Chains A and B, each alone.
Chain A
Amino acid sequence: GAGVSQSPSNKVTEKGKDVELRCDPISGHTALYWYRQSLGQGLEFLIYFQGNSAPDKSGLPSDRFSAERTGGSVSTLTIQRTQQEDSAVYLCASSERLGPDTQYFGPGTRLTVL
């Protein structure tokens, strides 16, 4: 079946603009995760969803970042007033449920802020 998809695959934006990154999880997966991978660094955990709920937003780097999930499916990560340090690959993953189930990762969105 279809895996996790993310769009756009690449996004170049100017400093100060807002961007929206989209994640389509595997159908039926109730848990969804967002990560950020900066050049030469590991993955930084941003936020998780159980259904449409994100109980803990403390991993988001700043209040310019927000995320939502609707219908227990698609999730959107929004970055307002982008800064150059936001440049990274943003990865989304989903799993059947919150727990030890395998996370399936999407291909990522490469964000470049000029």
Chain B
Amino acid sequence: AQSVTQLGSHVSVSEGALVLLRCNYSSSVPPYLFWYVQYPNQGLQLLLKYTSAATLVKGINGFEAEFKKSETSFHLTKPSAHMSDAAEYFCAVSSNFNKFYFGSGTKLNVKP
């Protein structure tokens, strides 16, 4: 069985501060991991994905995530938050691309 836990349903950071959104997964087989973003009144879009190549994955809009097998984590980071980063972020895991398991999401608020 697979599952994803996103710690913190709401995260608030100041503009220019580091963004860290946490994702831990559970998988009995090597996982493929994803981060999606949902801007207000918009559909989900892929930020980045890990598919067993480099463990540090770079995505769009300056986001990156590092796959750490020993910690079963795939945390999302961005060095400097921008107001436009305010959105809801979802972590997802899949082992075979037939089923995808999403976390419950983290809403990021960016304060001016």
Binding site for B on A (CB under 8 A): 3-4, 33, 35, 40-45, 48, 55-56, 59, 91, 93, 98-100, 102-108
Contact = CB atoms under 8 A, between A and B. Distances in A.
Given A41-B104, A42-B105, A43-B90, A98 B46 contact: no
B88 to A, nearest CB: 10
Interface stretch (B13-21, B64-72, B74-82, B93-101): B93-101
B101 A45 contact: yes
B43 A48 contact: no
B56 interface: no
Contacts of A56: 98-99
Given A40-B104, A42-B105, A100-B51, A48 B90 contact: no
Interface residues of B, number: 22
Contacts of B90: 42-43
B32 A100 contact: yes
Contact of B97 (A4, A41, A43, A100): A100
Contact of A108 (B43, B46, B105): B43
17 contacts: A3-B43, A35-B102, A42-B4, A42-B6, A42-B102, A43-B92, A44-B102, A45-B100, A48-B99, A56-B98, A56-B99, A91-B43, A93-B44, A100-B32, A102-B49, A103-B46, A108-B43
Contacts of A98: 97-98
Nearest to A59: B99
A3 B103 CA distance: 24
B102 A43 contact: yes
